[in-house]
A and B are shown apart, each in its own frame.
Chain A
C-alpha cells in the first residue's frame, strides 16, 4: 500500500529581526515550497512575522528578508489578534 501521508516540516518563527527563531509547530506538505505556504498561513497569520525557517531533510529552508511582501499584512487584521474584552465601566441597571 502506498503511503499517502505527506512529510512533516517543523516551523520556526521570528517576530522581528534580531529576535531568535522560535519553534511554533509543524505542518504537513508534499514538498518544501508548499510547506512554506502552509507555514505562512498557520503561523504568520496572527503573529507579526519577518522570517520563517522550515528545515527539511536535505538542508535548511529559510525565507529571505528581501521579500517583505510575503508577510505583508496590508489590511486591518486586528480582529485576528487575541485580546480580551473591555469590561463595562458601570453596573447595568436593573429596573
Chain B
C-alpha cells in the first residue's frame, strides 16, 4: 500500500480519486457515442480522439486509487455494479440531451491530487498524474470552445438551440462542483487543489 503524505485522511482521498476516475471513464464512453454522428469526418475523428483521451485519464486516477485500495483499474471499470459508480450525474447523460454537454469535457472534477510540502512517492505520482492530464484537457477546452462559440454565433436557429442547451444543462452541470463526503478535509486544509479547471 502506498505511503500517504502526512495528514492526508485515507477515505476522502480514496473517494476523490475514484470520483475523478469514474468521471473520466463514463464521460469517455459517453463522448464515444458521438462517433459517426459528427457533421464532418474531421470532427468525428477529433471528438473520438477526445473520448480516447478521457479513457486514458481514467487510468491515471484508477491506478492511484489502486495504490490505496488494492483494487485494480480493470476491477473498478468492469466489475462494479452501475450504482457503485461515483461520477457526477452530468457526465452520465446520453449524448443528445443537450449540445452543451460538450462543455463538460474539460470542466469537471479536476483536482490534481497534489499536496503541498509533502514528498512521498504517492504525492509525486499524484502530481505527475495532474501534469499528464492537464495538457490534453487544455486542448479539449480549446476544441469545445471553438465549437460552442461557432455554433452559438452561426445562425439564428443555431443560436436558439445552443441557448436552449445552456439553459437545460447549466443546473445539471453544477453537480460537477458538489463536494464528496469528507472532501473539505482535503481541500480546506490545502491538501488538494480546489475545484475547477485551470484556464488553458
Cross-chain contact B135 with A41 (CB below 8 angstroms)? no
Cross-chain contact A27 with B42 (CB below 8 angstroms)? yes
Residues of chain B lying within 8 A (CB to CB) of residue A47: none
Question: A27, A29, A30, A74: which contacts B132 (Cβ < 8 A)?
Answer: A74
**0 or 1 for each of A15-55: is its CB under 8 Å from B? (1 = yes):** 00000000000011110011001101110010000000000
Cross-chain contact A69 with B53 (CB below 8 angstroms)? no
Cross-chain contact B139 with A42 (CB below 8 angstroms)? no
Cross-chain contact B139 with A70 (CB below 8 angstroms)? yes
Question: A33, A34, A69, A75: which contacts B59 (Cβ < 8 A)?
Answer: A75
Cross-chain contact A41 with B42 (CB below 8 angstroms)? yes
Closest chain B residue to A45, Cβ basis? B49
Cross-chain contact B135 with A76 (CB below 8 angstroms)? no
B18 to chain A, nearest CB (A): 19
Q: Does B81 contact A (CB under 8 A)?
A: no
Cross-chain contact A74 with B135 (CB below 8 angstroms)? yes
B196 to chain A, nearest CB (A): 19
Cross-chain contact B53 with A33 (CB below 8 angstroms)? no
* Residue with the greatest number of chain B CB neighbours at <10 A, chosen from A34, A45, A70, A75: A75
Cross-chain contact A75 with B136 (CB below 8 angstroms)? yes
Given A33-B146, A74-B131, A75-B136, CB of A41 within 8 Å of CB of B45? yes
Q: CA A23 – CA B46 in complex, angstroms?
A: 20
Cross-chain contact A72 with B136 (CB below 8 angstroms)? yes
Q: Does A77 contact B (CB under 8 A)?
A: yes
Cross-chain contact A76 with B42 (CB below 8 angstroms)? no
Q: CA A29 – CA B60 in complex, angstroms?
A: 33
Q: CA A76 – CA B40 in complex, angstroms?
A: 27
Cross-chain contact B132 with A75 (CB below 8 angstroms)? yes
Chain B interface (Cβ < 8 Å from any Cβ of A): 40, 42-43, 45-46, 49, 53, 56-57, 59-60, 131-136, 138-139, 142-143, 146, 150, 200
A sample of 25 cross-chain residue pairs with beta-carbon separation below 8 angstroms, ordered by A number, consists of A6-B40, A33-B146, A34-B150, A37-B142, A37-B143, A37-B146, A38-B43, A38-B46, A40-B139, A41-B45, A41-B49, A41-B143, A42-B46, A45-B45, A45-B49, A69-B134, A72-B135, A72-B139, A74-B132, A74-B136, A75-B57, A75-B59, A75-B132, A75-B136, A77-B56
Interface contacts beyond A30-B150, A41-B49: sample of 19 additional A-B pairs, CB < 8 Å, sorted by A:
A6-B40, A29-B42, A33-B146, A37-B142, A41-B45, A41-B143, A42-B45, A42-B46, A45-B45, A69-B134, A69-B135, A69-B139, A69-B200, A72-B135, A74-B133, A74-B134, A74-B135, A75-B57, A75-B60
